[in-house]
Amino acid sequence: MYFPIRLDIKQMKWLFLLIFISGYLLTYKYFTAVRIEFAAYNFLALVALAILLKNIDFSNKKFIAIWIAVVLLLMGYFIRFYWITIDPLPVEKMLPLNPFRTMVADRNALFMSFQFSVIAFASFCFSVSILLFFLKSGLWIGLHSMQNQNSILKIEFIRILLALTVALTGIFAYVNYQYQIGEMGSSPGDPLPFRLKGIIFYARVVCVPLLILLCITFMDHANDIIGSRVGILLLILNGVADMFLRNSRSSLLLALLLLIFLLLVGGVRLRVKEKIFLGLIAVLAFLMVPVMTEYRQVRLIQNLSHIDALVVLFQKEESNWLLQFTQGLKFVLFRMPGIESLWCQLALGAKPLGIYSLDIINSTNGIAGYLTYVIHPMKESNFTLLAPGFVGWLYLVGGTPVILAGTLCIGFITVFAWSLIDAVFIRTSAVAKAFLLWMLFLALTEGTLDSMGFMLLSGIATLTIMEILFRVVFLEITNEK
């Protein structure tokens, strides 16, 4: 007998509530001393999410930033909380050994970190719900876009831009290789005049990917499929190059993430076969995580060049591919700082800095440096900085009041930045939205909010220059007609 089953994707959003229900049932026995409080905080988080879900759906693209924020907060602070409450070992390699042991032994700090996480999450959900209410009731006068989605630049102009971007990618990669700019886990070396190292770093890490995304978007909208796919290939190759040049385990994954963001905002359309191909690239990226871990260790410990380190790796015996994939997947799931960072801070006795946080933020390494060298503490000779995570950063700066203020700001950004981008970045809105999602992703995972200023300035400057250029070129094309 056939029973038709119809799944309404709009109603599937309510499945998110099961995270709190199942999580509570799996972990309540670990908090018998604070049983009532634990149940109350779980209920508060569930109610806050339910109210938010009532106001948003999957189909409206204006809610993409809100959905990204919700998913990241759920993954980093609740799914991970329930997981590490039962088994904290997955985050062992993400933290120094002694602080990890101190953290695991302090269950009271774990519960406190859960309390702060619920406060942050509830504040975000309630603030977004209230802001959406003002939008729906007409109490907010929104910005209106003047964008003409049907306007297309001359394809020759975009091809020239793509060629210039390819040249810039090669030049910056060569300079990065020569001067070892931004290598992870190693000494920054001698500075170049006029802060050129910093300029080159942000130009390569921020400006070049945005230029590639612009080329992909305009070529796709002009139905130049080959050109847009060349742009996608360039984005992936740039991620691979960055992975080896900077000893980074996540550069290729970041390139794929940017492409996903561009796909979500409608900047590019992909066929089913192309999505499958990108899925295979993602699998390769996961496989490369343990390889890049060993690559970094070989380079730093044996003081080898990039090429010599690769030769050493390839000379080793073949590894278990399935094991490498699972290790890479686990690394990605737990590499992004979340509730365990806050748990560790509280276990080590970290207190909100208050007004003193301004001095720390203005110091060389900022809040991440304070966390790494004062709270943990680690040696500066390790050339490593620990990310505090989003809620951890807010807690260190000012405790509960700053957590409430910070999540309110994020809520405001996710609700209104979409309309602002449509109104300001008329020609480059798709890439500007992808950049917004990128910065939101970094803010809600790494949480190094005080060190994101140069990335924001680099991205906004790139988009603004290209926006002005595209408007001028489009006007010239219009006049020709």
Residue 97's pLDDT band (boundaries 50, 70, 90)?
Answer: confident
With a pLDDT cut of 70, the percent of the chain lying above it is 79
Residue 296: how many CA atoms within 13 Å on its side-chain side?
Answer: 18
Q: Which of 85-94, 191-200, 429-438 has the lowest mean pLDDT?
A: 191-200
Look at residue 403 in the predicted model and tell me its pLDDT.
96
Residues 218-260 have pLDDT tens digits of 999 888 888 899 999 999 999 888 887 777 767 788 888 999 9
Residue 454's pLDDT band (boundaries 50, 70, 90)?
Answer: very high
Q: Which of 138-142, 289-293, 307-311, 382-386 has the lowest mean pLDDT?
A: 138-142
* Residue 392, token pair as written in the block: 């951890």
Average pLDDT on 76-98 reads 88
Look at residue 246 in the predicted model and tell me its pLDDT.
78
With a pLDDT cut of 90, the percent of the chain lying above it is 47
Look at residue 193 in the predicted model and tell me its pLDDT.
73
* Residue 72, token pair as written in the block: 């990241």
**Eight-state DSSP code of residue 156:** H
Residue 160: how many CA atoms within 13 Å on its side-chain side?
Answer: 7
Helices 390-398/400-424 angle, 10° precision: 120
* Residue 234, token pair as written in the block: 């360039």
Residues 132-145 have pLDDT tens digits of 988 876 655 454 44
Residues 392-408 have pLDDT tens digits of 999 999 999 999 999 99
Helices 390-398/429-445 angle, 10° precision: 60
Average pLDDT on 298-310 reads 59
Look at residue 98 in the predicted model and tell me its pLDDT.
86
Average pLDDT on 370-379 reads 88
Q: Is the pLDDT of residue 126 over 90?
A: yes
